[in-house]
Each structure stands twice: as structure tokens, then as C-alpha cells.
Amino acid sequence: MTRRGFTLPELLVALGLLGVLGAAVVGLLRGTQDAYRAQSQQFDVRQNLRIAAAFLPGELRELDAIDGDLVAMGAAALTIRAQRQLAVLCRPPRAGSGPSSLMLTLRDSPFAGWRDFNPAADSVFVFSDGDTATPDDDGWATGSIGSFVPDTCPDGRLGRRFTASLRPAPGRSLGSWGITAGAPVLGFETLGYRLYRSSEDGRWYVGLQTATDMQPVLGPVTSDGLAFAYLDSTGLVTTQSSRVAMIEIRVRAQTLAAIRDGRGRLVQPVDSVVMLVSLRNNRRF
Amino acid sequence: MSRNGFTLVEVLVALVIFAIGALGLAAETAALTRQIGIGQRAAVVTAAATARLERARARACESRADGIETVRYHSVRLADLEWSWRDPGDSAFRLTLVTVPFGAPARSSIPADTLTTVVWCRR
């Protein structure tokens, strides 16, 4: 009798080989999956660091420490005056209800800004030219603003009027403000960037603290995920805000879940970015 | 006796041809890895050059000194940054920053680079 087919030993050998091969393939796939997980976790970390590298220097570079834009300097928190608007006066100021009160009219256009004026949160600098023949007596009056009402400029264009409570520019006094039509008005907001722990997920974030609330800017980061160092123009650490010429920002972030490293151990790698920002608007003379 | 199939010589020739192709692929992977390495080192050097520019800007209107700095990554020397100032007499100081990769030019070395910028110190 001849029956065609496989013998039992042949079948066993084939099954054994298949098993070995299958195990190898599964091992390979698991390695690939681990690598994929590790990659996507690390992408998230780098994404956070990239936001930090793009966002924080841009916000800090425009500051002028010599003229007081650094309001409070901490190791993991920084409060600054951040410029938000630029507008132009279209009339000479008129006296308001008190000695420090001035009625100012802004042109609707030109106007530049991240957002419109918010009387609850914003303050202004108003350029005080004084003697128009020399820049030596120029300065800025500063103070808070009230709500806006529509107004018309002398040339018939649209504008809006508000009352500001101002301190005179250095060297000037209440009543002799030195403010003329055409004076630029800078709107700014006092806000802070700081490390904080979210009450929602218990993780650490870099947050933006405004007068009214705290918003996460980037994260999650590690519990020591944000560090500021304040350097003078020679690169030495200083605690005097008016001497700060550069700010070093250090952001550390960690993968959310543990991933396998090259040797198969479970780790939560930390990555970091260090940025050095020189303050562009510091006076250089 | 006649059995259909490949002879040993045929199989060997086919294997050699396949191996040449596979080696080509492996070489491509090596080139890719090398490029990634160059990119990483170049990023480290660029970050150092950026920080150097910021330092120069912060100090330029007070004093300007030429200098050289060695950029290392995990204690491996990557490149030298050399910077020099020129004062054309118009209070706009010219800064030239040259990246000199360490070692002989090789397929795995980062490119040399030169950057010139101006720092204004006019009133």
C-alpha cells in the first residue's frame, strides 16, 4: 500500500520549525511595537520642548529690564510687563476729573496688537515728548486706563476716548505732561510665567498667570521643569532687575509613560532645552 | 537520472546576487544613520552659536572682544566657534561668527559655516 503524504516525524519537524520561526517573528514585532511606543512618547516630549523654544524667547526678547519690565524675578517664576498694543493719540490730552487724570483720544487706525485694550488688565505708556527739538527730555507717562467711548478725531476719522490715571514721565509734573497729538501709546499687561501643578491631573506645567486666571502654556514638564537664570551683560548671575541683560530659560520634560530603552529596561527619559535670550529693548547707550 | 530543480552552482550564483543587493541596502542604512548623526551634532553646534550671538548682543555696546569657544557634546569635541568684531566707525558693529568643525573634513563631519551680523549701538 502506498499512501502519499507526510509522515508523522516530517510533520513534527515542520511544526517545530514553524514554532521557532513564529516565536522569532513575534519577538521582532514586539520590539517594533516597543520602539514605536517609545518614539511617540519622545515625540510628545520634544513637541513640548519645541513649543518652549519657540514661545518663551519670543515673549521675553522684547523686554527692557533697565526701564523696569522685569516686575518680579524668581527661580521658577517670572513676572513681566508684556506689551500688547500700540496706538496713536489724535488729539492733545484734555484734563480729566483729578490732577492725575487725563482724557486721551486714540485713532482706531493705525492700531497694532495681540488683542484690544482690556481696561481691567492693561496699563499704558504714553510718550511724553516735551521739547520736540531734542530727544534728551523724552520719556513715558504711565498708568491705568478706564473704559472706552467712541470719539471723532479732529480730521474726521474715527477714534475712541478713554480716561487714564497717569504718573508723569521722569522730569515732568502733573499738569505739564509734555504729551502731544500723535504721541504713541503702548498698552501692556503685567503677567507671569511660572511652573505650577495642575489640580486636574496633578502634573506640572508651565503656566501663564494673568490678573484673572492661570493658563497652561506647555507641558506636562517635570517637577523642576522650568528654571530661569538672570544674567547681566557680562554673563554673571544678578539679582538686580535693572541689570539683567540676558535670561536663561531651562525647560525639562519627561515622557508620560515608561518606555523600553535599548537594553529592554523600563525608563522615563528626561529631555531638556536651554535657551539664552538677550533683552532686545534694553537701552544700549 | 533526471530530476528537475536547481543545481548547486545556480543556487550559489543566485545567493551571491541577492547578497550584493542586500549589502547595498545595508550601506544605505549606514548612510542614513550617519546623516542623522550629522544633523544631531549640527543642532548642538547651532544652539551653541545662537547662545553666543545672544551673549554678544547683550554686551556689544559696552565692550567687544574677539574670542573662541569649543563646543562639546558628551565631552566629544564637535567644533570651534570663532568670533571677531569689526568697527567701521558708524556705531554699527559687525560680528563675524565662524564654525570650524573639529578634525579633518570627513563624510561624517558637520559643515563649516560663517555668519556675519550687525549690532546697532546708535542713539
Residue to substitute from B55, B119, B122, interface A, most A β-carbons within 10 A = B55
The alpha-carbon radius of gyration of chain B (Å, integer) is 26
| CA dist., res. B109 & res. B101, Å (int) | 7
- The CA distances from residue B93 to A150, A245, B50, B96, in Å, are 47, 18, 18, 10
Q: Quick count: other Cβ atoms within 10 Å of Cβ A275?
A: 20
What are B93-110's pLDDT values in tens digits? 999 999 999 877 777 788
- The CA distances from residue A63 to A23, A74, A91, A131, in Å, are 61, 16, 29, 27
- The CA distances from residue A122 to A119, A151, A163, A187, B89, in Å, are 5, 20, 13, 6, 42
Q: Chain B partners of A245 at a C-beta cutoff of 8 Å? A: 58-59
- Calculate mean pLDDT across residues A239-262: 91
pLDDT of A23 over the 70 cut? yes
A278–B55 CB contact, under 8 Å: yes
DSSP letter at A115? S
Is residue A157 exposed (0-12), middle (13-18) or buried (19+ Cβ within 10 Å)?
exposed
- Calculate mean pLDDT across residues A217-236: 93
User: Average pLDDT, whole number, for chain A?
Assistant: 91
Is residue A241 exposed (0-12), middle (13-18) or buried (19+ Cβ within 10 Å)?
middle
- The CA distances from residue A49 to A104, A221, B115, in Å, are 43, 9, 26
Give the global pTM.
Answer: 0.80
Which of B47, B58, B120 has its CB closest to that of A278?
A: B58
pLDDT of B2 over the 90 cut? no
Q: What angle do CA A65, A66, A69 make, to 5 degrees?
A: 35
* B2: Cβ contacts below 8 Å, ≥ 6 apart: none
- Calculate mean pLDDT across residues B18-46: 92
E strand segments, chain A: 70-73, 77-88, 94-95, 101-107, 112-113, 122-128, 139-145, 149-152, 158-167, 184-197, 204-209, 214-221, 226-231, 246-254, 259-260, 266-267, 270-278
- Calculate mean pLDDT across residues B5-9: 87
- Quote the pLDDT of residue A281: 87
pLDDT of A43 over the 60 cut? yes
Q: Is some CB atom of chain A closer than 8 A to the CB atom of B118?
A: no
- Calculate mean pLDDT across residues A131-155: 91
Q: Chain B partners of A277 at a C-beta cutoff of 8 Å? A: 54
- Calculate mean pLDDT across residues B85-94: 92
ipTM: 0.75
Q: Which of A149-153, A169-173, A271-275 has the lowest mean pLDDT?
A: A169-173
- Quote the pLDDT of residue A285: 61
- Quote the pLDDT of residue B109: 82
Three-state DSSP class for B113? strand
End-to-end, the C-alpha distance of chain A in Å comes to 110
B62–A233 CB contact, under 8 Å: yes
- Quote the pLDDT of residue A2: 67
- Quote the pLDDT of residue B1: 55
* Helical (H) or strand (E) element with B92: strand B92-101
Three-state DSSP class for A144? strand
Which of A235, A246, A284 has its CB closest to that of B121?
A: A284
- Quote the pLDDT of residue A249: 96
A249 contacts A242 by C-beta, under 8 angstroms = no
A198 contacts A83 by C-beta, under 8 angstroms = no
Q: Chain B partners of A274 at a C-beta cutoff of 8 Å? A: 47, 51
* A117: Cβ contacts below 8 Å, ≥ 6 apart: A85, A145, A148, A162, A187
| CA dist., res. A39 & res. A128, Å (int) | 56
What are A69-85's pLDDT values in tens digits? 999 999 999 999 999 99
A276 contacts A246 by C-beta, under 8 angstroms = yes
Which of A135, A276, A279 has its CB closest to that of B55?
A: A276
Backbone angles phi, psi at B20, to 5 degrees: -60, -45
- Quote the pLDDT of residue A22: 95
A246–B54 CB contact, under 8 Å: yes
Helix and strand numbers (H, E) in chain A are 1, 17
| CA dist., res. A23 & res. A30, Å (int) | 11
DSSP letter at A106? E
Q: Quick count: other Cβ atoms within 10 Å of Cβ A128?
A: 23
- Quote the pLDDT of residue A161: 94
| CA dist., res. A102 & res. A127, Å (int) | 13
Q: Chain A partners of B121 at a C-beta cutoff of 8 Å? A: 284-285
* Residues in A lying within 8 Å of B, measured between beta carbons: 135, 231, 233-235, 245-246, 274, 276-280, 282, 284-285
The 3-state secondary structure of B49-66 reads HHHHHHHHHHHCCCCCCC
